[in-house]
Structures are given as C-alpha cells and as structure tokens.
Structure 1
Amino acid sequence: MSNLDAAQLTADLIRCPSVTPEEGGALVLLGDLLTEAGFEVSRADRAEVSNLVARWGQKGHAKTFGFNGHTDVVPIGDANAWSVDPFGADIKDGILYGRGATDMKSGVAAFVAAAVDLVKDTPPDGAILITVTGDEEGPALHGTTAILDHMAQEGEQMSVCLVGEPTCPNEMGDMIKIGRRGSLTAWFTYRGIQGHSAYPHRAKNPLPAMAKLMDLMASHELDQGTDHFDASTVAVVTMDTGNPATNVIPAECRSTVNIRFNDAHSGESVTEWMQGLVNQVIDETGVLIEMAVKVSGESFITPPGDLSDLVARAVTAETGRVPELSTTGGTSDARFIKSHCPVVEFGLVGKTMHQVDECVPVAQIHQLKAIYARILSDYFAA
C-alpha cells in the first residue's frame, strides 16, 4: 500500500526558498514526483511566474476533482528574529518549522500525497487535476489566472475544486470556507494651494478635505451583513502629508482605504458610492480630489450543498468536529476558480502563517492528508 509521507514532502518544499515570485525548486520537485506517479504534468508559466498543472486520468472526464494551492511564500522579514533557519524545515518536539509550513506548503503536500496514494492503490473512475501556482502571495496576476487560461486552451475542466489554504482559526476541522468577501483598495490624492499657516486665507488646505472624506467613509455603515456574510467593512489604512514644517499649509496630501464587501455590493457599486462622497467633499471644500481604485476580487459564495457536505463529512470523520461554513477572512485564489467550477477551501489551523517561526504540528499534516484522502475516496465512490 502506498504511503507518501506528507510531512516529509512539506519539509522538502520548505527547503525550497520560493519567496514570490521565485520558484525555488518547489514546482520542479512536485512535477517530478507527480510524473513518477503517473500524472501528466505541464507548466503554465507566465511572465516571471511559475505554475504547475498535473492531471491523472482522462482529460475532460465528467468526474474530475481539482486541488489548488501555492508554493510561493512571503518574505522571512528579520532573519535574526527567527529561532530556526526559515528554510531549514527543523522539527522540534513534533513541530515542523519554516516559512510556508502553514501557508501553505503543508496543504500542497497533503493533497499531493493523498492523490498519489489513491491513484497508485485504488485508481478511481474519474480524473484528478492538481494546480499549484507560484504567485498567490504576490500580485496574483500570473498565477491561478494563468493556470485557468492554460486549462481553457488545453480543454482541461475541473468538476469541483478544493483550495488547500489554512481555514481553521483555532482547532483542526473547525471551519470550511465556502466563499469570500470582495476586496477593494482606493487611493486618494488631495490638491490645494500651499501657504503660510499664519495666513490660511491665502492658501487652500487639503487636510480638512482629507479628514472629512475619511470620516464620511469610516463612519458609514455599508450594510449589516447578509445571509452568508458578515457586514462589509471600511478601513482607513493611511493618511499622509509628508509635511515636516509647522508653519506651512501643504499643497497636497494622500490617503488610502481598504474595503471588504459582501454580496450586497460589487466593486462597481462601492466605487460609485465612494465617487459620490468625493464629489460631495470637492463641492464643500473646493479641494481637488483624485481617486484610483483597484478591485482585487468580487465577493462570491458556493452555496452549501454537495461539495461542502462532502468536505464536512470527511472533516467530521477524521477530527470529530462539525466544521462551520464561513466566508470570513481575506482573499484567496478561490476568487478566480469560482467562475470555473464550484469551489470550497479547507486546510490547517492558520495561527502562525506569515509570522516569525511559522510552524505546524507534524501530526496535523498527517491528519490533513487523511481528510483529503477521505474526500477523494468518497467523491469517486458516489
């Protein structure tokens, strides 16, 4: 009986220094392993980003289970703050340390190991499609989007997809993500007239306009939540003047907001709301205000049903917990996959992701592999 060690594979991946957008050897390692296991492996590289697509079974099979994940990681920060080598994959007292241990080389290792064991031991009547990107932690312009473009060109189609991001806030098995809020960032530039602070009537101060606009946005309640989503939020993340002088009214200042919005809104509707407030403040103050907007992703949900039930049953069987179906948290690459097929997310406890001394219990990696293996077995048995 095959038994690919997911914890050892996680350690091998951690030793690949794949800080976005560097491939670091991680996808080469996975490609070789999957090829040996009988998967048809191809690359969907674009720009400076490396991406992998691996399929076992018939292309276009009506029963194709997809896994998605990433091997790129965030920078380590201050190397001296780490108690271990960030890319050393040290194990201490049953805990595996290293950048990407939680987010999300362990998730990738667990679903690859589960898939390899299944096709070697009990080849299913169907197909498995594994997609791994090197651009999830970065701009995400040439990662999973490039993979989906490649799949469209090659006639590859997932029936359903599970993204292996860390989803559990406290205990293994306590949460499945069935959607995500949308994310939007807006940058504002305010232009007035510089002058002496003793003669404010000779200047046009942009700072009160900035304060007014930011207060209007931050104090506004966009909604009180919807059936599957928490209330939308507006966060003022920076307000800058760059003015070191106390006797000068600056000519220009800037501010930025980040908005996480639920399915009561779209990126377009939120932008229209912001533009209305901008126009209001311009009329009231005479200060010119320019706005630039980037929508990182629209809100989406995979309604509770067959896919979430499949994952939840496996989680409960392996952990004894009934997972909450949630749409909380930030964005993930599921926002791209949702237009391709039904998608949910399930993975490890994410408490240490992006932190110094990022780590994961080795036992948790084995448990995650067991959950993924049960999901695959149950999916193809149905």
Structure 2
Amino acid sequence: MTFPVDERSVVELTQALVRLRTVNEPGLGEAPAAELVAATMRGFGWEPEITEVAPGRPNVVAVVEGGQPGPTLMFEGHTDVVTEGDLDRWTVDPYGAEIRDGRLYGRGSADMKSGVAAMIHATRALQLAGPFPGRVLVCALVDEEGLMLGAKQFATTAVAATVGGAIICEPEEGEICTSAKGAVRVRVDLLGAMAHGAMPQHGRNPVAPLGRLLVALAGLQERLQAEHGVHEHLGPVYLTPTVLRAGALDQINVIPARATVAIDARTIPGVDHALLVSSIAALAEEAGAPDGVTAQVTVVDDRPCVEIAPDHPLVVALAGAHEKVAGEPARYGGVPGATDGTILTRDAGIPTVVYGPGGKWIAHQADEFVEVEDIVRCTHIYAEAADRFLRS
C-alpha cells in the first residue's frame, strides 16, 4: 500500500515549527509550537487534548482511531529546543527555516521539529488510506531538553497504560535505535569552613579535596569501563565532570566554605545506578577526610538504560518499513543520550524504539539542519511502520 503523504505540507510544517523560538530557558516555553501542532491536528478533524505541565508548557496529545479493534501505537516528539548559542557561529538565521541545497536549516530542524511534523503527517496519511486496526496516539510533549516533565506527566495518564509500543521520532540518521544509554546526574558538595587566605589554619579548604575527587572519578570510570566493556551500540560508560564551583573569582583572599562538582554519568546495561552513586559518595568522603571536609551527594536525575529486543513487533515493523521505503537493509544503533522514551519505558512500561529524520550528531550545533528528502522519507516510513505494527 502507498500512503498519501502530503510531502509539501510536512516540510512546510517543519519550517513553521522551526520559526518558533521554543528554547528550554526560564521565561520561554513550548506554547507557540503546541498551539501550531494543535491547530494542525484540528484541521484534520482530530481533537487534541492539551495539558499544561508547567506554566506556558503544554503537552499536546491526539488519539486517532482506526475504526477496527487492535493495539495502540504511540508516536512521540518534543517541542522544546536548546539555545542557539553564539550567533556568530551561525551562517544562517537560527529561526529562519531556510532551505538551501536540499537542507532545511535552523535550531530544532533535526532535534526535533522535523520529527514532530513527520509523525503528524504520517498519521494523517494512515488515516486517509482507510480503516486500520487499533489507534495511534500522536504526542508532542514538553521539556525533553530539561527534566522531561512532559514525558513524566504523560506516563501517569490512563491512556499511557494502553500503549503497546512507541516510536520516538528523534534524529538518528537512518538507524533504528533499539537501546539508549542511562544517565545519572550527581551533584557533590564538599563542605569546609571559610577563612582568610592568609590564615588557612583557621579554615578547612574544600578545593584540594575537589582536585582529589576529580582524580578519583577518572579512576572509577576506568574501573567501570574495564568491568562492563563496550556495548555494541552504546559504547563504554562515561563519568564526566561538567560543573565546577568553589568560591568567587573576585575573592582570591578567601578560603571558600564549599566546593561543588556536578557529574554527568552515562551508563550501559549492567551498571547498577545505586551502587554507582554510593561509590561516588565514598570517593567524596575519602577525598575530604584529610582536610576535615565533609561531603553531601545529591542525585539530580536518574534515567535507566533502556533496550528493546530486535525481534519485538515494533522493531520488526519499523525495519520492514525502512527497507520498503528506503530500499536498503535496516541499520541498527543506540542513542548516546536519553530520550523521552527512557521515561516512557521506566514510568509506564512502554516499549520504545528511536528513529527519525536528521543526523544523529548535528543536534545542538550551530547551523543545525535536516535534509528535506529525509523528512519526507521518514514520514512515509512512519506511516508504513504504523500500518505494519497495528496489523501484526
């Protein structure tokens, strides 16, 4: 069957979404994109449900019935984007959605407003092709680039319990990603005592313990990599210090009372997150002990690794659709970071696979782009995959 995808409209919707600056920053929000998504859905005769997860941050969920008994498939994408960063690094307007030499440029073009547009128009094409079994949920959620509040809210709903599988429409450069790395974000505060820099004997300086902790974390990473090896699609475990704070630059003569390091740990199956956090805590205490410095460890966020079997009906349907539409064998991979699918699997038990238009490594970069041909191809693949899954 050939599905009547409106190829021009899916590209135009991508452009319209990219032109909306829905950056995940305080004071902004996804409301403009949510309004456009909802209006597009209403134009198809759908009745989207809009739920404000936080002020100015609405989830949009539409249920499209196939008219016959059957399972429920979910398409999911997010409407927030990261900041455009240094404008001097861009050669195009980050929100111009310019098409040049077959590429659509702009912040969020790949990550992931093209995926949102593709899943909407794929579901519309499936609907226009005639009755189909079951139903499709089309979900445009908020805050994926933050704490994934949109996915967490959706996972608590009654409709989430009905989902048999979800395609997460993130950019993966043609790969069917059956696994995603886990993420543990940890903050370590080393607590000493403030004193004059000329009289260090009256204080407890946490800066030296911070240095010792950084060295110890590198050693812990090496041990974890040796123990768990390299995952076929996800690579090795990483423990990356990302934020360091100790005192103030304009107070060189003051010993600080606190030094902080934030750690972004990216894990693979087999790594025990609770044990990892306790290991970091032990290293922090050990690093501070010689100077009488204590440690407080806070888990900011904890996202598990997720995997789906390659013979799961959802993966089989997507692989078959890719092979039919793209005319090439399916390629499999893993997601180097977490997606909303991580939360949907953890909190609602939904099997997820990640596949969508755009390059895997272009996200969050200057001059972000997506190939127009890729948007159209993925839209056709989504429609075909949905039909195959719902009839399986």
Please give the range of the TM-score, normalised by the shorter of the 2 chains. Answer: 0.7 to 0.9
Work out the CA distance in 2 between the residues paired with 1:62 and 1:326: 29
Residue of structure 1 equivalent to 2:228: 224
Question: Deviation string for 1:64-110 (max 9, x for gaps)?
Answer: 11100012222222345433332222212222122211111111111
Residue 201 of structure 1 deviates from its aligned partner by: 4.9
Work out the CA distance in 2 between the residues paired with 1:60 and 1:27: 29
Residue 135 of structure 1 deviates from its aligned partner by: 1.8
Q: Map of 1:173-188 to 2, 5 A cutoff?
A: 173=174, 175-188=175-188
Work out the CA distance in 1 between the residues paired with 2:133 and 2:110: 32
Could you tell which deviates more after superposition, 221-230 or 297-306? Answer: 221-230
Aligned mate of 1:242, from 247, 261, 265 = 247
Describe the SS at the equivalent of 2:228: coil
Q: Map of 1:1-382 to 2, 5 A cutoff?
A: 2-5=4-7, 6-20=10-24, 21-48=28-55, 49-57=57-65, 62-141=70-149, 143-149=150-156, 151-152=157-158, 157-168=162-173, 173=174, 175-194=175-194, 201=201, 203-220=203-220, 221-222=223-224, 223-225=227-229, 229-242=234-247, 244=249, 249-305=255-311, 306-338=313-345, 339-348=348-357, 349-382=359-392
Could you tell which deviates more after superposition, 334-343 or 243-252? Answer: 243-252
Work out the CA distance in 1 between the residues paired with 2:337 and 2:18: 23
CA gap 1:341/1:232 in 2 versus in 1, 3 angstroms: same
CA gap 1:350/1:231 in 2 versus in 1, 3 angstroms: closer
Residue 332 of structure 1 deviates from its aligned partner by: 0.7
Residue 252 of structure 1 deviates from its aligned partner by: 3.2
Residue 239 of structure 1 deviates from its aligned partner by: 3.1
Could you tell which deviates more after superposition, 159-168 or 13-22? Answer: 13-22
Give the letter for the 1:353 counterpart. Answer: A
Work out the CA distance in 1 between the residues paired with 2:327 and 2:155: 35
Work out the CA distance in 2 between the residues paired with 1:232 and 1:330: 12
Give the letter for the 1:370 counterpart. Answer: H
Does structure 1 conserve the Cα–Cα contact (< 8 Å) formed by 2:68 and 2:131? no
Does structure 1 conserve the Cα–Cα contact (< 8 Å) formed by 2:72 and 2:390? no
Work out the CA distance in 2 between the residues paired with 1:243 and 1:125: 62
Work out the CA distance in 1 between the residues paired with 2:160 and 2:241: 43
Question: Deviation string for 1:262-296 (max 9, x for gaps)?
Answer: 22234322212222223333444421222222224
Work out the CA distance in 2 between the residues paired with 1:354 and 1:198: 45
- RMSD across aligned positions (CA): 2.7
Residue 298 of structure 1 deviates from its aligned partner by: 1.6
Give the letter for the 2:285 counterpart. Answer: N
Residue 131 of structure 1 deviates from its aligned partner by: 0.7
Where does structure 1 lack aligned partners over 5 or more consecutive residues?
none
Describe the SS at the equivalent of 2:362: coil
Work out the CA distance in 1 between the residues paired with 2:344 and 2:68: 17
TM-score between the two structures when normalised by the length of structure 2: 0.86
Describe the SS at the equivalent of 2:241: strand
Work out the CA distance in 2 between the residues paired with 1:82 and 1:283: 48
CA gap 1:254/1:380 in 2 versus in 1, 3 angstroms: closer
* Number of residue pairs the alignment of both structures matches: 374
Work out the CA distance in 2 between the residues paired with 1:60 and 1:206: 65
Q: Higher helix share goes to which structure? A: 2
CA gap 1:379/1:137 in 2 versus in 1, 3 angstroms: same
Residue 136 of structure 1 deviates from its aligned partner by: 1.4
Work out the CA distance in 2 between the residues paired with 1:54 and 1:372: 16
Give the letter for the 2:356 counterpart. Answer: G
Work out the CA distance in 1 between the residues paired with 2:315 and 2:182: 20
Residue 367 of structure 1 deviates from its aligned partner by: 1.2
Question: Deviation string for 1:163-216 (max 9, x for gaps)?
Answer: 000122xxxx2x222222221122222233455667655543322211222211
Does structure 1 conserve the Cα–Cα contact (< 8 Å) formed by 2:74 and 2:165? yes
Work out the CA distance in 1 between the residues paired with 2:113 and 2:191: 46
CA gap 1:280/1:145 in 2 versus in 1, 3 angstroms: same
Work out the CA distance in 1 between the residues paired with 2:155 and 2:204: 50
Give the letter for the 2:370 counterpart. Answer: V
Describe the SS at the equivalent of 2:54: coil
Work out the CA distance in 2 between the residues paired with 1:253 and 1:356: 33
Does structure 2 conserve the Cα–Cα contact (< 8 Å) formed by 1:96 and 1:362? yes
Where does structure 2 lack aligned partners over 5 or more consecutive residues?
none
Work out the CA distance in 1 between the residues paired with 2:66 and 2:81: 32
TM-score between the two structures when normalised by the length of structure 1: 0.88
CA gap 1:91/1:62 in 2 versus in 1, 3 angstroms: same
Does structure 2 conserve the Cα–Cα contact (< 8 Å) formed by 1:60 and 1:155? no
Describe the SS at the equivalent of 1:304: coil
Describe the SS at the equivalent of 1:316: helix
